[in-house]
Amino acid sequence: MSYKAIVIGASAGGFFALKKLIPMLPEDFSFPVFIVQHISPTSDNYMAKFLDNLANLTVKEADEKEIITSGYVYIAPPNYHLLIEEDLSISLSTDEKKNYSRPSIDILFETATYAYGEDLIGIVLTGANSDGANGLLSIKKAGGFCIVQDPSEAEAEAMPLAAIKSSDPHKILKIEEIGKLLIELDNKVKKENKPIDGEKDESF
């Protein structure tokens, strides 16, 4: 196991789901987290500031050419696609909408797959469309770990259902269970990368 990053996609009801999930992550959480939340193009993206006040981690709006830092939570700005480059930097794009959305969950998931391959964890939360279904499938095909919010808990079940149909995820969980699993996976990675006494840790 060598997971290195987490991507999360959400739409209708996503703010409430993220408000539960992100504060669960501890301050020593080692993965960078990237979030696409479908949002109005004219929004001031108050969500990043709101979550930053709640979270143990630094939550911020993603910036163009920003170098990715472990333990940060990056949120796509309104009306911009969020892309992960292979050199592990961030790109923002105003290219045409995908699945009627900009930012697009699929674009985040697919570019993150190119950058991280099997070391990626993908999560699809509540939403009223199918954005994220193809992206989660790309993560699954690359050998990454796929999680979908339990549709019975989601405020809008369409997006979780589409993701379940497309990718047959490894886990279908409620928000609290997702948070606990992410902490567990992080702890396992830390344990596996812990150096033997006398050895230098070069795992990160």
Catalytic residue list: 11, 38, 131
CA contacts within 13 A on the Cβ side of 6: 27
Run of H or E including 191: helix 175-192
Contact 141, 168 (CB under 8 A): no
Residues 118, 139: Cα–Cα separation, whole Å: 7
Structure tokens at 132: 């994220």
Query: What 8-state DSSP symbol labels residue 114?
Result: H
- What the block records as the tokens of 108 is 């985040």
Q: Are 61 and 77 in contact (CB under 8 A)?
A: yes
Token digits of residue 161: 């259902």
Q: Which residues neighbour 53 within 8 Å (Cβ) at sequence distance 6 or greater?
A: none
